Amino acid sequence: MQDFKLPFKLYIDASGDGLGAALNQVQIVDYKPVEGPMWFISWKIKPTESRYGE
């Protein structure tokens, strides 16, 4: 369960084939910081989208 008083970490990555992201929250478990997943998303890049930067 998310706690907006604790920090979040956002990880993103991209390649020529797709994009992805993960949102984790740092929680304290047994007096140690532990990251737990909150949200994931990914999608495959379509051929037309791969040419946006040209």
Tell me whether residue 27 is in a domain.
Answer: yes
Number of domains in the chain: 1
Per-residue pLDDT at 1 exceeds 80 = no
Domain that holds residue 18: 8-43
1 domain residue, yes or no: no
Does 48 reside within a domain?
no
Could you tell me the pLDDT band of residue 2, with boundaries at 50, 70 and 90?
confident
Question: Whose structure tokens read 């047994």?
Answer: 30
Segment 13-29 shows an average pLDDT of 93
Q: Residue 30 in contact with residue 19, Cβ under 8 Å?
A: no
